Chains A and B, each alone.
Chain A
Amino acid sequence: GAVVSQHPSWVICKSGTSVKIECRSLDFQATTMFWYRQFPKQSLMLMATSNEGSKATYEQGVEKDKFLINHASLTLSTLTVTSAHPEDSSFYICSANSGTGVVDTQYFGPGTRLTVL
């Protein structure tokens, strides 16, 4: 199956600092990647859709100036949480579309656990 990696797997930062999370598709090219956030005991919440070479599409209620997304290549998308605050502490997961057939399938990275002190 398609493999997606994320780095770092966990990060602890101080309030007010910025954190960058990388998402890579290792064995396929992904024109579209997705960023999700998951709070404890809740389902995944889509934050934004990232298309290679164009601006990301953010879901309603997600601050695009706070969560900066860059999809510079077909295998890499980055999410930067700017001026992080404790309420941004969450499990951030990316996924990438593997367009191997008629319908694209999303494969998920292992996630990044962010703790903001």
Chain B
Amino acid sequence: QKEVEQNSGPLSVPEGAIASLNCTYSDRGSQSFFWYRQYSGKSPELIMSIYSNGDKEDGRFTAQLNKASQYVSLLIRDSQPSDSATYLCAVTLQGAQKLVFGQGTRLTINP
């Protein structure tokens, strides 16, 4: 079992709809959770970080963490074509500084 798993997609969502991206992780001691956005040919850009159970909202983005289910998600409201990218879920394992990445979900927003 991979440490961090994401559906690779592609996920297609119509413009203006809600895009839902999901991620599961295997280490119950994981402490920090991040969502990065990566455009083709570019490096990852931090979108959201979340550390405790529940929801965290920032503009059109909402991160949700459920440690009991070992599940973290990212919701993008009012999706725009500019949101089309690969979204990487990353987790800091217990006692470690390094990030463990999922394989990424490719999201396409259709005008």
Contacts and interface: CB of A to CB of B under 8 A. Distances in A.
Given A103-B92, A104-B97, A106-B99, A44 B44 contact: yes
Nearest to B33: A103
Contacts of B103: 42-43
Interface string B38-49: 000011111001
A67 interface: no
A103 B31 contact: yes
B32 A103 contact: yes
Contacts of B51: 102-103
B98 interface: yes
Given A43-B104, A49-B97, A105 B46 contact: yes
A105 B88 CA distance: 15
